[in-house]
Amino acid sequence: QVGNMVANLTQPTDPSAAVAADLAIGLAPTDPVVHWLKGTANISLADFEQAVVLAPSDYRWRIEFGRALEQDEQIERAEAQFRRAVDLAPNYAFSHWGLANFLLRRDRPDEALAELRRAADSDRSYRDQAFSLVWEYFSRDVGRLEEFAGESTEARARLAYFFAARGRAADALRNWNTLGDAEKAENPDILMAMAHGLFLQRHFGESLA
């Protein structure tokens, strides 16, 4: 318990993180989090791998190991770890998010977009982050983002808000107006935020609409 506590309370960026990791490993050598701390502090593949060995069914250590392998240019091994994380936690947004980001970094957008959708569908808090990734990756292509968003009420409402927050008043209003009156009424917070935000940005016509 003490070793686990030391590992959880120590930030990997702390100058003494490596020393704390050694202490934690001495106290709890079979706890994966202590090896994760040492791997992060020392950029040590062996310690990341040890965390996976100690907890092979924990998707989180697979993602961490995958990132470390990718940084070491071991791309095939990295992808295998990201995909194993998804296999272990298919309903968790974080596993799909990790794989999606890996695929985007490898310039494989079609596969990445599918994983981003799964992440956003699993946890709506990932929706805006997914929009931001797609928006920047495709050089702020409105059509590609709208295609990615899909036709669900929740997605279209969030997309309208996304555009409004970036001063894209016409795109915000156009997407908002794809919703019916009942669907708009289900999203009063987004409606008020958009109207107020567009007014402050001096998009008075769209704000009034």
Q: Give the Cβ contact number of residue 48 at 10 Å.
A: 27
Amino acid 16: pLDDT: 86
Amino acid 201: pLDDT: 95
- Both tokens of 117, joined, read 């959708």
Q: How far is CA 128 from CA 65, 113, 201, in A?
A: 26, 14, 20
Amino acid 17: pLDDT: 85
From the list 56, 58, 36, 57, the residue with the least C-alpha distance to 24 is: 36
Amino acid 122: pLDDT: 86
**CA atoms of 94 and 20, how far apart (whole Å):** 27
Tokens 């919703």 correspond to 179
pLDDT one digit per residue (tens) for the chain, 209 residues? 998 998 888 888 888 888 988 888 899 999 888 888 888 887 789 999 999 999 999 999 999 999 999 999 999 999 999 999 999 999 999 999 999 999 999 999 999 999 999 999 888 889 999 999 999 999 999 999 999 999 899 999 999 999 999 999 999 999 999 999 999 999 999 999 999 999 999 999 999 99
**CA atoms of 161 and 168, how far apart (whole Å):** 10
Torsion of CA 168, 170, 171, 174, to 10 degrees: 150
Under a CB-based contact definition with an 8 Å cutoff, are residues 17 and 40 in contact? yes
Under a CB-based contact definition with an 8 Å cutoff, are residues 61 and 55 in contact? yes
Q: What is the pTM of this model?
A: 0.82
Under a CB-based contact definition with an 8 Å cutoff, are residues 61 and 51 in contact? yes
